[in-house]
Amino acid sequence: MSTTETGHAQHAVWFTERAGVAAGAYQMAFGIHFGAGLNERALGEACAAVVERHPALSNAVAIDGDVPVLVPAAMKIALEHGELSEESIRAEVARAFDLHTGPLARFTLLTAGPGRSLLLVVAHHLVFDGHSKDVLARDLAAAYRAALAGHLVELAGPVAPPASSVAADRERVAADLPRARAYWTSRWSPAPDPVLPGLRREPPGAGPGGTVHLALPAELAARIDPAARRLGVTRFELLLTAVHALLARYGNAGLPVSVALSTRTAPTAGEVGLFVNELPLAVTPLRGTVREYARTVRAGLRELYDVRAVPLARAVSGLRPSAALTAVSVSYRRQPTEPRFPGVSSTMEWFFPAPAARNALNLLIVDAPDGPRIALQHSVEAMATDAVERIGAHLATVLSSIVDGHDQPAAALPILPPAERHRIVREWNDTARPYPPDSTLPALLAASVRTWPDRVAIVDGERVLTYAELDAAVARLTAILRRRGVGAGSLVAVCVPRSWWSLVLLLAIARCGAAYVPVDPAYPAARRSFILAHAAPRWW
The CATH number of residue 504's host domain is: 3.40.50.980
- For residue 433, is it within any domain? no
Whether residues 448 and 401 fall in one domain: no
pTM of the complete model: 0.80
Whether residues 415 and 478 fall in one domain: no
Q: Tell me the DSSP string of 148-186.
A: HTT----PPPPSS-HHHHHHHHHHHHHHHHHHHHHHHHT
Find the domain containing 25 and state its range. 4-422
- For residue 110, is it within any domain? yes
- For residue 432, is it within any domain? no
Whether residues 407 and 449 fall in one domain: no
Local structure of residue 415 (DSSP, 8 states): -
CA separation for the pair 344, 118 (Å, rounded):
12
Whether residues 387 and 456 fall in one domain: no
Q: Which of 389, 422, 455 is the last residue of a domain?
A: 422
CA distances from 300 to 218, 293, 410 (A): 30, 11, 17
Classify residue 513 by burial, with Cβ atoms within 10 Å: 0-12, 13-18, 19+: middle
CA separation for the pair 97, 60 (Å, rounded):
10
Whether residues 136 and 192 fall in one domain: yes
Whether residues 32 and 181 fall in one domain: yes
Q: Residue 6 in 3-state DSSP?
A: coil
**Which segments within 445-535 are labelled E, that is strand?**
456-460, 463-466, 491-494, 515-518
Q: Which of 422, 453, 482 is the last residue of a domain?
A: 422
Whether residues 392 and 498 fall in one domain: no
- For residue 386, is it within any domain? yes
Whether residues 405 and 450 fall in one domain: no
Whether residues 104 and 242 fall in one domain: yes
Pair 125, 28: CB distance under 8 Å:
yes
Whether residues 315 and 452 fall in one domain: no
CA separation for the pair 286, 448 (Å, rounded):
45
- Are β-strands 256-262 and 276-282 bridged in parallel, bridged antiparallel, or unpaired? antiparallel
- For residue 435, is it within any domain? no
**Which phi and psi (to 5°) does residue 122 adopt?**
-125, 135
pLDDT in single tens digits along all 540 residues of the chain: 577 888 888 888 888 888 776 778 899 999 999 999 999 999 999 999 999 999 999 999 999 888 889 999 989 999 999 999 999 999 999 999 999 999 999 999 999 988 899 999 999 999 999 999 999 999 999 999 999 988 766 666 555 566 677 888 888 989 999 999 999 998 888 888 899 999 988 887 788 899 999 999 999 999 999 999 999 999 999 999 999 999 999 999 889 999 999 999 888 889 999 999 999 999 888 999 999 999 999 999 999 999 999 999 889 988 876 777 899 999 999 988 899 999 999 999 999 999 989 899 999 999 988 889 999 999 999 999 999 999 999 999 999 999 987 789 999 999 999 999 999 889 988 888 787 888 899 999 999 999 999 999 999 988 999 999 999 999 999 999 999 999 998 999 999 999 999 999 999 999 999 999 999 998 888 998 999 998 888 766
The total number of structural domains that make up the chain = 2
Whether residues 473 and 400 fall in one domain: no
- For residue 184, is it within any domain? yes
The CATH number of residue 416's host domain is: 3.30.559.30
